[in-house]
Amino acid sequence: DGFAIPSATGLVTSSTSNVLSGDFLGNGRRQVLLPQGGVWSIAGYSATGFTVSSTGLAVGGEYAAADVDGDGLDDLVGVTSTTPKNVTVRRNTTAPASSGFAARFASTAQTVWTVPDTRVLYGWNDPKVSDINGDGRADMCDSCPDVTIYDGKFINSCRMDEYRLFGGFVSLQDKAATN
């Protein structure tokens, strides 16, 4: 159960291609999204066997799949190559659990964060996305690549002193706003 007979798929990727795994169809099964001819194609098992279908969406800097909005469909997360860099989300617009094998994504990506000039975005091409707090949506964080548990909460290990000394993350305010 859970395994299929090995078969030649005819799919070819380069060693630098991102192959994304997720539930893109809303059917409770994992599929893979991989670049084929400059566009994302979805591959996986359907009722008729192994299936590949083009999404028609040009590959555009997406590097992760995560259910960002909690609708049960994995969305595409990307980073622009511009300066400053922007973290983007391209929403999955597929009709969940439809009988077909076609995934659809928004034609434009939504910027969810612009990296400030004073920050450096490390590790953006190897993200770790997960629903850390259990609300059904994927969480994205920047800062330390490792997490620890402090006082029953997941926190970035490099910011543990803020919790230990001040009871939470310290944030900056504009000096003019405090006067």
Quick one: pLDDT at residue 67?
Answer: 87
Residue among 74, 86, 2, 83 nearest 45 (CA):
2
Report residues of the chain scoring pLDDT below 50: 143, 172
Quick one: pLDDT at residue 126?
Answer: 53
Integer Cα distance of 137 and 174 in angstroms:
31
3-class DSSP state for residue 178?
helix
Structure tokens at 130: 């997960």
List the beta bridge partners of residue 114: 86
72: left (phi over 0), alpha (psi -120 to 50) or beta: left
What DSSP element (H or E) covers 143? none
Integer Cα distance of 7 and 151 in angstroms:
49
List the beta bridge partners of residue 75: 66
Residue 164 carries which DSSP code?
H
Quick one: pLDDT at residue 143?
Answer: 46
Quick one: pLDDT at residue 132?
Answer: 59
pLDDT tens digits for range 75-124: 998 888 778 878 888 999 998 655 678 899 999 999 887 877 766 665 55
CB distance 58 to 105 below 8 Å: no
